[in-house]
Each structure stands twice: as C-alpha cells, then as structure tokens.
Chain A
C-alpha cells in the first residue's frame, strides 16, 4: 500500500536535503518508512550527498539512531557524504551519550552543513 511521505525532500545543486515532517521519531513503523524512503534516495544517486535536518524534531529513539547508522553505512558504501544539521540540544545530548557525535558529521545549521560538502 503506498504511504504518505514522512519527509520533505529537495535537491539543491548536488545535495539532497531532507527534513522530517514528524516532531517525534520514535515509532518503529515510521522509522522503517523513513529509512526505506532515504534508502531509495541513496540508491538513485551515483555518489550521494545527503543533508538531514532535525529542525522540526523534538524526540527520537535508539531505533532512529540505528536507522541513521544504516543510512550512513549505505552512503559510505557508495563513497557518498552524509551531514546532519539543526539538532536540538536535548537531542544532540543523545548523540553525545551514545558517542554518535563522533560517527556523524553534525553541523549547527543547514547552511554550515551545505558548505561542508567536498
């Protein structure tokens, strides 16, 4: 059954910019849908450059972190680049606690993240 997108997607220059529609990325069903949708975006690019903004996100779960790790692994397999941006301080703390701030390239703003792509 086709389902409504949980993402806002736009491509500017060579960068695919993604924003979440949901404020809470907790529900496994939603996370699965988001993950699959982003995977399709990666599949469609030869050398994917993805920027995921968390500007609208208030909560996320370890399942969402797991999905981000899977997305990151997939992008690296294609020699692509992933950037995360606009993460609320409370959520950033979750990245710090899990040390995932060391794995991901996280930028304060979307503009900073766009400038960082090689």
Chain B
C-alpha cells in the first residue's frame, strides 16, 4: 500500500518571472501523501503564484512540477517522462503527471488537482446545488454522451444525474449547507461560501486539494470548524491537502508539514514545531522589530 510519507507532489527548481519581477525563485519542495502541507510567508512572498503554477493557471518560467497517482515506485520513471516531453505517463500500478506541461483544466480533469481561490470564486447566480453539479461536469458529460445523447433524452443520463445529486447532497450535509441547497450561492454568508467552495472542489474527486487562504475572514469558531472539516475529509478520502494560510491557529494545529517562503525563496521547511522554533522564520516572516516578534511569538504559543 502507498504509505504515508511517500511524496505525492514534487516541485523542483520552480521559477516564475513576470517581466523583470521574480515572483518565485528556484523553489524546490515536496508534499507527502495524506499530509496537510502548509505554505506560509508574508504577503507577496509568492505563495499564490506557486499555487497558480501547480494548478496550471500560470506556466512557470522554469522548473518541474510532478504529481503521482498510485504506487510510489512510479517516481523512478520521472526522468524518462521529462525526457520524452510528454504530459503524463501511465503504468499498471500508477501514473505520473508533469503539471507544468498541462493546461489548467486538464490539471483538474486528469491529474485530479482541485483548488479554491483567495477571493472566493463561486457561481454567484447559480444555486448551491448547481455549483456542485457544475463541479461534476466531466463525469456527467460522459454520461450525457457528450450532449448528443442527452438532448435525445437517454435514460442513463438521468441515472448519472441522480448519482451526482447524491454526491452533492452528501457534501452539503458535511459542510452544513443542505438547507440552503436551492438558494443562490451569492446569497450565502461569507463563511458558508468558503465551505461551499471547498465542497465544490471536492466534487471534482481530487487526490490533491489546494486551498488558498481558506480561513481568511472566518471567526475563531468558524476556523475551528474548518480545521475539523479539513482533517475529516483528509482521513476519509485519503486526500493530500496543500494550504496557503495566514491564520497561525489553523496552520499550527492541522498541518503536518510547513514550508516558509519569503521573496519567492524558501527559507524554512519542516514540521510545525521546527518552524515555530526557527529564528530565521520569526525574523523574516514577522519582520525584525522586536515587539512584533514577541507579539507573534505569543500568538503561535512560544
């Protein structure tokens, strides 16, 4: 069995330049299977840029981003995949994807990486249920015979649609939005919109879930609930989670592994305990003013 601790995602020598600006500079790190990996750093450190590179919205200037499904032994094939210039490679026991070579929608469709956005991007004019149905687009598309058979009204589409509704209902129960299923997503309160966006990402059936500041704007009770939600879906779905977060209570409590960025460069990488004791992190991440360091030390419980 693919055990915990084996790498799921490898980011190697990732560099992203916008004109003259180097947003991410020669960054390398790994995320292990079933881990919650947190990406932290001051504003402008390049965290969201890394996310956008992983999910295909940006093409990195240089570097390799590889993802594995199935048996970790498949990692041995990575060099040959890179040399052949293909997007992905499938063997009997698993497959490998080179995400930087794939367009954004294929990263989700084939490599099964799902994401949420810093500034929530729900389909505001569609209902909560419709949002979750859109997330199951690709499987339903297949069931509708790529629209052609669906227009003619084949019964198998009805069956697939009911199954999709069941999946949606289960997620709505889990995030506590079942009573609002028929309300437009734009009408939901902020915290509920955050949860809906996570549920919507989960409806694409991912192996890696990338969350961009999921706790931003939540009150303490809501972020505690978010922690529980993330831990429970990780355990139930054997999911790996990638997290950008400023809320240290979330980061320290649930992450297994923390990576600290500053000015596009990795300055620290380790368990939450290691990070919170790393003076480099405290200095760089929190600025050099002493009183601020003390304030944040108090916050992280040092």
Do chains A and B interact in one complex? no
A-to-B contact residues, CB < 8 Å = none
B-to-A contact residues, CB < 8 Å = none
